[in-house]
Structure formats: C-alpha cells, structure tokens
Structure 1
Amino acid sequence: MLNKNIETFLGFDSEYDDASFVIFGAPFDSTTSFRPGTRFASKIMRSESFGLETYSPYQDADLTDFSLFDGGDLELSFGNTERALNKIEEFTTQILDDAKTPCMIGGEHLVTLGAVRAVAKKYPDLYVIQFDAHTDLREDYLDQRLSHATVIRRIWDLLGDGRIYQYGIRSGDRPEFEWAAKQHVFMQKFNFDGLGKTVEQLQGKPVYLTIDLDVLDPSVFPGTGTPEAGGVTFMELLQAVLTVSGLNIVACDVNELSPVYDQSGVSTAVACKVLRELAIAINKK
C-alpha cells in the first residue's frame, strides 16, 4: 500500500502527541524593505535538509535522540500583515498549550512578533535574546509600524526596558542606536562578547531566542535580503547557540534566509545546520 508523500525537515518525523519540540514555517515577507524571497525558506530548507546527517559531531548527539515534529507551513495572508501575525500567534499558542516548545522558521523577521505575542502571554516575565545584523528598533518604516525593520521595537512595546538582549548588531540608523543607548535594550555591537554574562543573569528566566541569519557574514551566508558585511562566522554563531542553550528557552526562531539569492545552495545548507544544532542543543539540556 502506498502512503502520502509528506516532506518534513530531516529527523522531525515523530507524531505530534509524542513530540516535545515543534517546528513550523511562517512563509511571510510582505514588509521586506530590500530584497524579498524569505517566504520560500522553510519549504526549501525541508528539501535541502536531507543533505545533512541527523548526527551532530559538535554536540555528540543526534536528532533521532529526541521526539521532534514538523508542523508544516502556515498559510499566511500576504495582503494583511496583522492577520498573518494573528495566525502565527494562534498557532504558537496551541503548541505552548500542549506543553511543547515552538520553533518557527521565517520568513522575514517580523514573524517573530506574532510568536512573541503568544509566548509573552504564557510567560509575562519573558526575556528575548536576538542574534542579528540589524537593530530592528525603528518606531516606523515608511510610515508603517509593522515591518521587519521595527519588529524588536514592537516587542519592546510588549516587554519594556531591560528585557531584550541584542548581539551581532552592525546596522541601523543613528536614532536606533541612540534609543538603545538609553538603556531600553542591551546591545552588543559586532559580536557575541559578554553573552556568557547575560546567560548568568537570565538563569531561571523564560527566554525567547530569535536568530536572524544575517548575523552571519555574507561570505558565509549571502542568501539573505539585507546582507551586511562584517558579520560573525558559522562557528561563532554555533558557539553562541551552545552558550544560550543552557537557559530556559521556551520558544525560538530562525529567519531571513532568502534562498533565491544564493543559487549555490550554501546559504540554505548553513540555515539547515543552524536549525539542526539549535534543536539538538535545546532538547539535549
């Protein structure tokens, strides 16, 4: 008897009821300010993930050691940003209500807002750790308050001062950097220096980890909509993921892969490997 052909990310083939960790795609890039295409990331990552092994030699652990589920891609409205965010929030809420850890694949970075809305309702004392090239702290962008350039500012609206930690930042307009310097958020420019201290401070706190893959240098990861020279290496990002994995990470995301801009497929391979290492690190603890 033939079965339906259902493609999942490599190693994420447990049943939902058995899984403790759930990935899902949020293929949305309607507010992308430069080069669109992140809506295709999750679909292509699933296909290309089979170029990886399930085993991580970095962590001496395997995706098959854990019960992991792939919830597929959400169907999101490209003409209504708020409706798309609401659907992400509803889906994330369902996963949390079922006592599982959600991990979203973007999509542009704005999709993080929908997930954080859900997580902040369950965990009012939530903290956010952001790996990113860009501040994403604008009050508005082209008169729009909902944008991938404003997503962290909108998250600050929810959480307030002292709850957001940014690493790898190397791009933004002057008012964003000046606003951050007023202690609204913690910002570490260019690298992950001081991340260990942050981990010590946030022990026992619920944490949302958001990884904008353009934190990586374009020589490592050219397949993104707004590449910024001067980024970190893959090994530096991996070490940062392993450093924060000891925290109580209650939800996470990986976003801003735009595979069309790297026809070699290297950027997609990097994104898949980041997701593999992230899933293993969180579940291993």
Structure 2
Amino acid sequence: MRHDMSGNSLIKIAQGVQRKGNRLLNGNTGGEITLSGKASNELLDLLEEGEEVNGLKSIYDDAVVDLINKLVYQGYLETDKERFFTSTGSPYLVNTMETNFFDFQRGNLGFDVDGNTRTIGLIGINSFSSSPTHFISFDSVSKIRQASSNATGLDISAEGTIKNTCGRFSEELNGILVKDYGDLEITIDQNLMENRLINLESDIFRNGRVTPLFIGGDHATTFYFIQGLLENVSDNIQILQLDAHMDTGNNRWGMVEHGSFVRTLANSSKVKKIVQLGVRGTYNINESKGLDGKVVQTTIDNLEKILEKDIPVYLTIDADAFDPSVIGAVSYPVLGGLGLTDFDNIALKLLSYNVVAADFVEFNGQYDSKNLIYSTAAAQVILGEIAILGGER
C-alpha cells in the first residue's frame, strides 16, 4: 500500500509512538524500528516537529521518501490527511493477545508477511457484524483461545513447530510451523473495518509466506477476505463452504451481510464455483435463483467429484455447519448437522488440495457453557483446519 504523498501534507511521528534516539517505539502496535545512517537523527528531528512532504522531497532522495511512506504504513508516522487509525497497514493492527491459540508462539505479522519462512497464521476477528440485527459477543474469540490452550496439549518446539502429536491428525500436524498473530483491531466505522479486512488478506497474499486462518466474526468477513485474496491472484479460485445455510439472500442496508455474501461472491468472474456442504432445513426457493450454476451443494462422499484438484481452494466454516450437540454456540442452530468425525473425513480429503486460506466464523460465545464445551469443540475444528492448511501444496 502506498499513501498519497503527492500533495503537501504534513508528516510527523504518530500519536502513541515514542522516540528514543534513532529508535521509534510504537505503543499502538507494540513494534519498534531503528533507523540507521548518519542522517537518521536529523530526519527524526524534522518528523518530531512535523515536516511538509514537499520539504522532505527537496531534502531527501526517493529511497528516503519510500522509507517515510513505509513508516506511515507501519504506523510510526502519520499525516494530517491520514491518521494512524486509517493509514496504518492491517498487518500492523493485529495485536497479540495474552492467551495464545493452542499455546502457539506469538508472531509479528508485519514482519512475517515479508519473511522467507512459510507459516500458518492464526488471526482473531472479534465481533465484526455485518447486520444491525445480528450480534456476536465480544468474548467469542477469547473463549476459543482459552479452550484451545486448556484442552489440546500440543507439544510445540522451540522453533514453533508442532511435534510429538498423538490423536487426531497427528501425522498431518507434526512439523507444521504455526504462529498466533493476535486479534485485528476493531473499529465501529463499518467502511473502515471492511477495508481493513480486505487489506489484511491482500497484504498477507502479496508475498504468500503466511497462510492465514481467520477465527471469529460473522460470515460476511469471508467476503472481505476473499476480496483481498482475489486482488492477488490471476486465475480462478473455488470456495468450499461448510454451513447450515446457503447465505444466498439479497443485500440489505447497502452492505454485504452474513446471509448474502455467497450471492455477492458468485458474481465475481474469478470465483469459478462455490461448493456447499452441510446445508439443511428449509429455505426460500428464491435464494437459489440467479446464481448461474456457480453454487453447488454436495455430500462428504461426493466432495472429491465436485471440488477440482487444480484450482486453489478457500475453505470457510460456519460453526452452525455442525450439529448443535457438537457446537451449539451459534445464533441460528439447525438440527442434523455435522459431527467431528464427519469433519475429520472432510479434512482428510482436503489434504491433497491446494487450500490457500481458511476461516472459522459465526461462533457466538454468549451461548457457550461455563466449562466452554462448545469452544473446546470449535478448537478441535480449527486444529483440523491447521492440518488442512499444512497439507500438500
């Protein structure tokens, strides 16, 4: 992302950033950066007071101007047109939490997206809701964090890889490098939040070293993540959707909703097909109209006949795909859903596909019990998604 530095806006060290010599400590994101070179202190002196873009361009060459732009993107600097909250790149707005998923190591997403090591990254999306009538409690992701830490007992090496694993997906999980990147900062500005979700996925896929697994929010988040993915692929993708509902309604209130995101995605020329598994119950026949055959429902047994091996897959899982006896902490439960064994069978089939990203959405922690039984089941599903993302590429 490049910010508008063509005008004569004022650039200065951002609020919440502390300068110590030639170091900048970012209290907003927890990051820090050291500027090297003889001119670094002189530059920081100017930025501490604030300097106009034209003035900086008259003093410094293009390389320094590019550095200044990067520091705006990373949240160390701000302009009078783009404050920290709106200008900072999404990877720098993911803050690590106290309780890590499965006790995985904490990661620095802003660093790792430009790194050289392939990593599966877990990112929490707290309480993003696309509809004024649909609320997901703020503690939903933190409950899954707590349950995953208490229930799975994974052995993590000093390097951050899974080792000595027994039980479900033991062979598939061993050796996978996984990091917890924390939760994306939430804002009540709907448009800003939508852009932040798109930019997060886009920035991750620009390099491709981090394979993301997004956890939390409602199902509209999937639309924005896929929008970010599509910005960085030239070919088609296919989507595998585990869900109790088709989510092919029409958009209301001028925005994509959790019940309409599939219809909106089906209009994209880069989405070849959307394969749905787990849909059940009754629905309005109009929901299946006007989709041009792009949305296909299947069963576990027929999944490999429908999903194509040579096209990248985005896997999205709505918690209500599972039977309420397994995961009952959802807003719209439907009986007759998947069990954990069903999901294991699906996951094993997906190991040979190129699954490039995944999410687990619509978990609503306000309906969980005190012993976090549904959060524990959700953690088991997420563990299976990690195995899928670590499969053959």
Asked if structure 1 preserves the Cα contact closer than 8 Å seen for 2:350 and 2:388, the reply is no
C-alpha distance 218-144 of structure 1, shift in aligned 2 (>3 A): farther
Q: Which moved more, 1:239-248 or 1:269-278?
A: 239-248
Q: 2:262 matched to 1:156?
A: no
Measured after TM superposition, the shift of residue 38 of structure 1 is 5.0
Measured after TM superposition, the shift of residue 150 of structure 1 is 0.7
Could you say which residue in structure 2 is the equivalent of 1:254?
A: 360
Structure-2 separation of matches of 1:238 and 1:144: 38
Q: 2:99 matched to 1:7?
A: yes
The alignment partner of 1:122 has SS state of coil
Measured after TM superposition, the shift of residue 22 of structure 1 is 1.0
Q: 2:148 matched to 1:37?
A: no
The alignment partner of 1:169 has SS state of coil
Structure-2 separation of matches of 1:43 and 1:208: 24
Measured after TM superposition, the shift of residue 149 of structure 1 is 0.5
Could you say which residue in structure 2 is the equivalent of 1:90?
A: 199
- Structure 1 stretches of 5 or more lacking a match? none
Q: Which has the higher helix share?
A: 1
Structure-2 separation of matches of 1:34 and 1:53: 38
Measured after TM superposition, the shift of residue 232 of structure 1 is 1.5
The alignment partner of 1:163 has SS state of strand
Structure-1 separation of matches of 2:199 and 2:336: 37
Report sequence identity in percent. Answer: 23
The alignment partner of 2:194 has SS state of helix
Structure-1 separation of matches of 2:217 and 2:269: 23
Could you say which residue in structure 1 is the equivalent of 2:303?
A: 195
| Structure 1 consecutive aligned stretches of length 4 or more whose deviation exceeds 6 Å | none
Measured after TM superposition, the shift of residue 161 of structure 1 is 7.1
Could you say which residue in structure 1 is the equivalent of 2:122?
A: 23
C-alpha distance 198-5 of structure 1, shift in aligned 2 (>3 A): closer
What is the 5 A alignment of 1:26-105? 26-32=125-131, 36-50=135-149, 51-54=151-154, 55-61=165-171, 65-80=175-190, 82-99=191-208, 100-105=210-215
C-alpha distance 14-30 of structure 1, shift in aligned 2 (>3 A): closer
Could you say which residue in structure 1 is the equivalent of 2:287?
A: 176
Counterpart AA for 2:192: R
Measured after TM superposition, the shift of residue 179 of structure 1 is 4.2
Note the alpha carbon deviations across 1:172-229, whole angstroms, 9 max, x for none: 322113445x5131123xx434112124xx1121111111111001111110111111
C-alpha distance 132-76 of structure 1, shift in aligned 2 (>3 A): same
- Structure 2 stretches of 5 or more lacking a match? 1-95, 155-164
Measured after TM superposition, the shift of residue 152 of structure 1 is 1.0
Asked if structure 1 preserves the Cα contact closer than 8 Å seen for 2:128 and 2:186, the reply is no
Using the size of structure 2 for normalisation, the TM-score is: 0.64
Higher Cα Rg, which structure: 2
Q: Which moved more, 1:219-228 or 1:258-267?
A: 258-267
Structure-2 separation of matches of 1:177 and 1:235: 29
Task: Give the number of equivalent residue pairs.
Answer: 275
The alignment partner of 2:348 has SS state of helix
The structure with higher relative contact order (CA 8 Å, sep 6+) is 1
Q: 2:323 matched to 1:217?
A: yes
Q: Which moved more, 1:270-279 or 1:119-128?
A: 119-128
